[in-house]
């Protein structure tokens, strides 16, 4: 499997979340809790910094051979993040009538978790340079 597009997609996905949390924490927290304290805003910005760092890691790893034993730390980090994130978001959204944005986020996390799980368990195929 060519993991280049997977790494680019996950980098853009995490960068969007990270930049939003870094530069607009009050607005995002207000969406979920109208009484967000400065401590909660600081934690949201810290989470945004983590998302941006993860996005940059994925972006720089887009040309590496990933899967099997190659690039295992990067694949495991992504797999754990997306799997635990999908489970946490699913736990927090127990009602089927929740906002559609939450279900889109849950779906994105679940898709990334499944694909990174697949990459983890398969042998990487090197791209053929023959014409």
Tens-digit pLDDT string for the chain (131 aa): 789 999 999 999 999 999 999 999 988 888 776 677 889 899 999 999 999 999 999 999 999 888 878 889 999 999 999 999 999 988 887 666 557 778 889 999 999 999 999 999 988 765 555 54
Indicate the number of domains in the chain.
Answer: 1
For residue 29, the model assigns a pLDDT of 85
Is 100 domain-assigned? yes
Q: Evaluate whether residue 116 is within a structural domain.
A: yes
Answer whether residue 111 is part of any domain. Answer: yes
Matching residue, tokens 């127990």? 94
| Domain assignment of residue 107, yes or no | yes
User: Residue 21 falls within a domain, yes or no?
Assistant: yes
Reduced to 3 states (helix: H, G, I; strand: E, B; else coil), residue 37 is coil
Q: How far apart are CA 75 and CA 89, in angstroms?
A: 21
Q: What is the pLDDT of residue 131?
A: 47
Residue 128 lies in a domain: no
Establish if 50 belongs to a structural domain: yes
* Structural domain contains residue 130: no
pLDDT of 93 reads 72
Domain with 79, as residue range(s), is 4-121
SS3 (DSSP) at 21: helix
């Amino acid at each position: 499997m060519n993991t280049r597009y997977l790494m680019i997609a996950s980098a853009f996905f995490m960068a969007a979340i990270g930049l939003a949390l870094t530069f607009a924490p009050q607005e995002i927290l207000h969406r979920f809790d109208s009484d967000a304290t400065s401590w909660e805003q600081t934690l949201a910005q810290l989470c945004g910094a983590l998302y941006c760092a993860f996005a940059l890691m994925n972006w720089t790893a887009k040309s590496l051979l990933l899967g099997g034993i190659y690039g295992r730390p990067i694949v495991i980090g992504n797999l754990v993040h997306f799997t635990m994130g999908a489970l946490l978001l699913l736990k927090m959204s127990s009602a089927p009538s929740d906002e559609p944005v939450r279900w889109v986020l849950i779906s994105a996390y679940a898709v990334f978790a499944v694909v990174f799980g697949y990459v983890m368990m398969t042998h990487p195929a090197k791209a053929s340079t023959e014409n």
